[in-house]
């Protein structure tokens, strides 16, 4: 495979954009992503799967199915993720393709680097999802995996606007995240109480469609939505 003898490149921001940890991330999610102990605690496959009630692998595979088996061109993953999502995504990148992964936290980028084998097709960038700094229409596909529920509405809107801005006409934005579960779902009420305590922005995705947060100045040729596990999770695929 191309680049197997090279070091995994880890690039940091080279634009005039000032990269700093957002205040909401420091305040609300310090325990999950910012503190050094967070990686040691949460980077466990079984724990990631437990948090998603055993649905991690299925949701990961649903996202990867949208990427395809030989993803040509450039693929962007917006924010690192615990678990093996990115290593599995790497396996689907074509020999002449590229995978870029951004995150605002260097600790998360370093953690991801440890999970990836040497591969010159992959570049990691310290960027804010709400201000990517990449050129318009520069990616064939963009993946946003369980990020939006962790963001305040204003940041969520900017993240989606950026994801849609950098994808090429005909390209896809793939979103996997929480969704308002069906009334009969047994985890509905206890989970909602827990999320309101630990993840206060998640309630937005229980009450509203993702389409509410999309930019109004970008037209989409297609929008598909599927729900899973009694409506608790959703996959939305936007086509430019």
The DSSP string of the chain is -TTTTSPPPEE---SSPPP---HHHHHHSIIIIISHHHHHHH--HHHHHHHTTT-HHHHHHHHHHHH-SSB-SEEEEES--SSSHHHHHHTTB-TT-EEEEEES-HHHHHHHHHHS---TTEEEEE-BTTB--PPTT-EEEEEEES-GGGS-HHHHHHHHHHHHHHEEEEEEEEEEEE-PPPTT-TTHHHHHHHHHHH-TTTHHHHHS-GGGGS-TTS--SEEEEEEETTTTEEEEEEE-
Architecture of domain 10-239: 3-Layer(aba) Sandwich (3.40)
pLDDT tens across the length of the chain (240 residues): 444 444 455 555 555 555 788 989 999 998 989 998 999 999 999 999 999 999 999 999 999 999 999 999 999 999 999 999 999 999 999 999 999 999 999 999 999 999 999 999 999 999 999 999 999 999 999 999 999 999 999 999 999 999 999 999 999 999 999 999 999 999 888 988 888 888 999 999 999 999 999 998 888 989 999 999 999 999 999 999
Between CA 217 and CA 60 the distance in angstroms is 30
What pLDDT score does 6 carry?
A: 46
């Amino acid at each position: 495979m191309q680049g197997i003898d090279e070091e995994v490149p880890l690039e940091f921001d080279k634009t005039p954009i000032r990269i700093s940890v957002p205040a909401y991330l420091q305040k609300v999610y310090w325990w999950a992503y910012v503190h050094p102990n967070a990686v040691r605690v949460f980077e466990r496959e079984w724990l990631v799967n437990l948090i998603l009630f055993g649905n991690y692998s299925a949701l990961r595979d649903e996202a990867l199915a949208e990427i395809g088996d030989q993803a040509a061109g450039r693929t962007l993953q917006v924010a690192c993720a615990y678990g093996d999502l990115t290593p599995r995504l790497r396996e689907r990148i074509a020999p002449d393709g590229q995978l870029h992964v951004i995150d605002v936290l260097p600790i998360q980028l370093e953690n991801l680097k440890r999970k990836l084998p040497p591969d010159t097709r992959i570049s990691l960038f310290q960027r804010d999802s709400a201000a990517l700094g990449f050129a318009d229409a520069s990616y064939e596909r963009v993946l946003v995996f369980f990020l939006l529920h962790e963001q305040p509405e204003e940041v969520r809107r900017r993240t989606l606007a950026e994801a849609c801005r950098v994808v090429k006409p005909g390209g896809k934005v793939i979103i996997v995240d929480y969704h308002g579960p069906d009334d009969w779902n047994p985890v509905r009420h206890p989970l909602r109480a827990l999320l309101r305590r630990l993840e206060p922005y998640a309630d937005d995705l229980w009450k509203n469609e993702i389409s509410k947060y999309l930019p109004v100045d970008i037209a989409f040729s297609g929008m598909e939505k599927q729900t899973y596990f009694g409506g608790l999770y959703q996959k939305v695929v936007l086509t430019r």
